[in-house]
Amino acid sequence: MSHTVVHVTALQQGERIPRAQLVAALRAHQGLAYVPEQALLRDVIYLLQGISGTHVRFKQEWQMPTADGSHPAETVLRLEFDEKDGIISPPTRDLIHRLAELGQLYVRVQRYVDKHTHPTPRHLASQSLCHFLAQELQAHGELVSDMEAQWHAQAEGVTPSHPLTLRRLVQTTREPILRMRLMSTMVESCRDMHGGALVSTIHAYTLTGDPFIRRCTSTLLDHVSRPFFHTLSRWIYDGELDDPFDEFFVAQASSHTPTPKQADDLVVPTEPGADAADVWQNRFVLRENMLPSFLSEHFARKIFSTGKSLHFLRDCCGEDRAEIQGRTPRRALRYSDMAGLEHAIDAEFALASGHLCSLFLTQFRLRDHLRAIKSYLLLTQGDFADALLQTLGPSLSRPASTLYQHNLSAALETAIRASNAQYEDPDILRRLDARSLEFGPGDTGWDTFTLEYRVEAPVNAVLDASAMAGYQLLFNYLWQINRVAAAVTLAWTQLLSTHKAVLRSRQRSQLDASLLPSLHRTLGHLHEMVHFVRQLQGFCELEGIAYAWQQLEQNCDAGISDLDQLIETHRHYLHTLIHTTLLRGRRGQADHLADDVRAQLQSVLAYAHCAEEWSHHITAELARLAGGVAPLRSAAHTQSVLVERLRTEHAAFQHRLQGMLSTLERHPTLTVRDLAVRIFDDSHTATMEF
C-alpha cells in the first residue's frame, strides 16, 4: 500500500499528520525530488558572478526613482527559483539568498566601475576609486575561480578534506560580503561626486565603532585620496594649482570678477590683473563644498593662504620657494599620516606666509609708506601742511578750470622745500603728486584739488584702490578743516587789528556808534569759531589719527601671520580712521553728524570771509577819514548789511552747534562722544573771554 493511501486512511480516521509528511507524500506522488546540492552549488557559483543558473536565476526589475530625484530609475536584481525539475527546501533557499547577495552587490559595484572608467579620465579621484574597486572585484573573481575549481574536483569524484557545501560557502563569503556591502554602499553614496566631495563622503564611513568598516574604509581612502594629496603637495610646496579636472577645494577663478576690499563704505573696482590686490584677492577661490571632511576649515584656510603666498611671491615679488630661508624638504602626504599632514601644513604656512609678511614690512617698506601717507595725506606734518596751504591758497580760490598740472606740481615742490619734508627719502617724495579732480561749472580749486600717494606692486595688495580712495577722502576732509582753520584765524587776526586801529583813530567819533560793540561781538564769535575748528583739528589728530596709528603699530609688532591678516589689520586701521575722524555712525546709518560738520565748516568759512570783508571796509573808511575825505553815504548801509550777514551766519552756526552737541552725546563711539564735552567747554571759555 502506498504512503498516499495510508495518509488518506489516517486522515479519514481523524488522525493528525505532520505537514512535512503530507508535503513529502504529495511530492512523491507527483514524482518530484529535491535538487541535488551539487547542482545548487554550481548555480550559486554562477550567481556570485551575477549570472543566472539552472534552478536559481536573477531577474531584472525596474526600481522607480525617489520623489526628490536623489536616486534615478534603475534596474535591480531579484532572485527567482525554478522548481520544475526538483524541489529546493526553505532552509536551502535561505542559504542561497544569503549567498546571492554577494552576486547582487558584485553587479552593482561592477556597473559603477564600468560607468566611471573611460579611455580618457574625467576625474582623478573617481578613477582612483574605480581602480581600487577593480582590484577588489578581481579578488572576488579569484575567489569564485577557486570555488569553481573545487566544485569541478568534487564533480569528478575527488573528495577533499573540506568538501564544498552551501553552508561552507556561507562561512567562506562572510567577510567578502561585508566588504562588498561596504563598497556597494559607497558607490551608491558617490554616484556623481568627485574630488574633495567624494573623499569626504568616503571619510564619513570611518566615523563608526565597527573596526572592520573603519579599517576597510581607511585602506580605501588611502588609495582614493592620492590624487588629492598630489594636488595638495604641489599647492603648499610650489604654489601651483595642478588640478586638471577641477577637483581640489582651491580653484582658479573662472572669471576675474573683482571682489574689492572695503575701506569703510568705499568700494573701488579695479580691472582684472591690474594690481597685486587682484592677484591676491581674486585669482584663487576657496570652495568649501570640495573640502574633505578630514580637514578642518582652520587648516583649509592655512592651506589656501600657503599656496597663495607662494604664488604671490613668484608672480608679484619675483621669488620662489627655493629662495626662502629655512625651507624644509618636501614630505610625502598621505591620508594614513594625518599627524605628518598637519605638521607639514603648519610648517609650510609659517614659512611661506611669514616670509611674505616679512618682505612687506622690510624690503617693500610698507610701514614707511603708511607713515608717509599719515604725514602728507593725513597732514600730520604740520609745517608741510601750512606751507602747502600758503603756496596753493591764492590759486585755489580761482575757478578750477584755471588750475594746471605743472602749477600744482610746482606748488607741491615749493611746499616740500619750505618744510622738513625736504629731508624725506626721495623714493617717498616721488610718490607724492598734486592734481585736480574732474570739475563742473562753478567749482573752484578748493573743490577739486587733492593730494595722492602712488604705490606699485606688490605694495598695492595692501594699499589698493579702495584704500587709497579712503585716504583721499580723509585728505579732502582734513584739508578743508585746515583751510577753514587758516581762514578763520586770519579773519580774527585782521579784525583784531582793525579793532585796535579804530580805538587809536582820532576820527572814530565820525564812525557809527555801534561799530565798536559790533566789532567786539564779532571778535568773540570768531574766537568761538577758532576754538571750535581747533578742537576739531585736535580731535582728528589725536583721537582719530594718533590713536589709530598706535593701534596699527601694536598689531604689527604683535606679529602678523599672513598677508590676509596684514590686509585686515590695515583695513581695520583705515576703517577706524574714517569712522572716528569723519564722525560717522554705524554702517548703514545716515551720516547726519558728518554732514553737519561739513555744513558747520562752510558756515565758519562764510563767517570768516564776511568778517574779513567787513574788516577791509572799516579799514578803508578809516583811511578815508584820516585823509579828510567825508564818509561815503553808502558806508552805513554796507556796514549794516555786513553786520546782518554776520548775525545770520552766527545764528546758523549756533543752531547747528547745539544740534551737533546733542548728536555727539548719543554717538555709539565713546571717543566721539567726548568731543561734545571738549567743544562745549572750549566754546564756553571762548565766550567768557569776550
Q: Which pLDDT band, with edges at 50, 70 and 90, does 686 fall under? A: very low
Q: Which helix (H) or strand (E) holds 674?
A: helix 670-689
Got the DSSP string for 3-62? HHHHHHHHHHTT----HHHHHHHHHHHHT--BPPHHHHHHHHHHHTTT---SSEEEEEEE
Closest CA to 542 of 658, 663, 672: 672
> Per-residue pLDDT tens for 658-678?
888 888 888 777 877 878 877
Q: Which helix (H) or strand (E) holds 250?
A: strand 250-252
Distance CA 514, CA 527 (A): 20
Q: How far apart are the first and last CA of the chain?
A: 145
Residues whose CB falls within 8 Å of the CB of residue 51, separated by 6 or more in sequence, listed in order = 58, 103
C-alpha atoms less than 13 angstroms from C-alpha of 611 in its C-beta half-sphere: 34
| Local structure of residue 540 (DSSP, 8 states) | I
Between 284 and 58, where is the model more confident? 284
Q: SS3 letters for 356-394?
A: HHHHHHCCCCHHHHHHHHHHHHCCCCHHHHHHHHHHHHH
Work out the average pLDDT over 216-243. Answer: 89
pLDDT at 356: 92
Tell me which amino acid residue 502 is: V
> Per-residue pLDDT tens for 378-397?
999 999 999 999 999 888 98
The single residue listed with the C-alpha cell 580731535 is 539
pLDDT at 680: 67
Cβ-contact 202, 224 below 8 angstroms: yes
List the grid coordinates of 231.
594636488
Closest CA to 277 of 254, 259, 301: 259
List the grid coordinates of 388.
602747502
Cβ-contact 612, 488 below 8 angstroms: no
Cβ-contact 562, 537 below 8 angstroms: no
> Per-residue pLDDT tens for 10-36?
555 566 767 666 666 666 655 567 888
Distance CA 214, CA 218 (A): 6
Q: What is the mean pLDDT of the chain?
A: 84
Between 11 and 519, where is the model more confident? 519
Q: Best-predicted range by mean pLDDT among 152-166, 343-357, 507-521?
A: 343-357
Kindly report the length of the chain: 690
In angstroms, what CA-CA distances link 225 with 109, 200, 204, 307?
A: 19, 10, 14, 19
Instruction: Tell me the three state secondary structure of residue 263.
Output: strand
Residues whose CB falls within 8 Å of the CB of residue 564, separated by 6 or more in sequence, listed in order = 305
* CA atoms 63, 64, 69, 75: torsion sign: positive
| Local structure of residue 244 (DSSP, 8 states) | T
Distance CA 640, CA 642 (A): 5
Bond prior to 72 in cis (omega within 30° of 0): no
Calculated CA dihedral for residues 336, 340, 342, 344, nearest 10 degrees:
-130
Distance CA 355, CA 326 (A): 10
In angstroms, what CA-CA distances link 602 with 309, 529, 650?
A: 48, 12, 12
> Per-residue pLDDT tens for 531-580?
999 999 999 999 899 999 999 999 988 888 899 999 999 999 999 999 88
Dihedral-angle region of residue 195 (phi above 0 means left; psi in -120 to 50 means alpha; beta otherwise): left
Phi first, then psi: give them for residue 286, nearest 5 degrees: -100, 120
List the grid coordinates of 633.
553815504
Distance CA 282, CA 202 (A): 31
In angstroms, what CA-CA distances link 105 with 50, 109, 115, 150, 173?
A: 9, 6, 16, 23, 13
CB atoms within 10 A of CB 167: 11
Cβ-contact 349, 328 below 8 angstroms: no
pTM metric for this prediction: 0.79
> Per-residue pLDDT tens for 322-356?
667 666 778 888 888 888 889 999 999 998 998 89
In angstroms, what CA-CA distances link 492 with 12, 315, 604?
A: 137, 58, 12
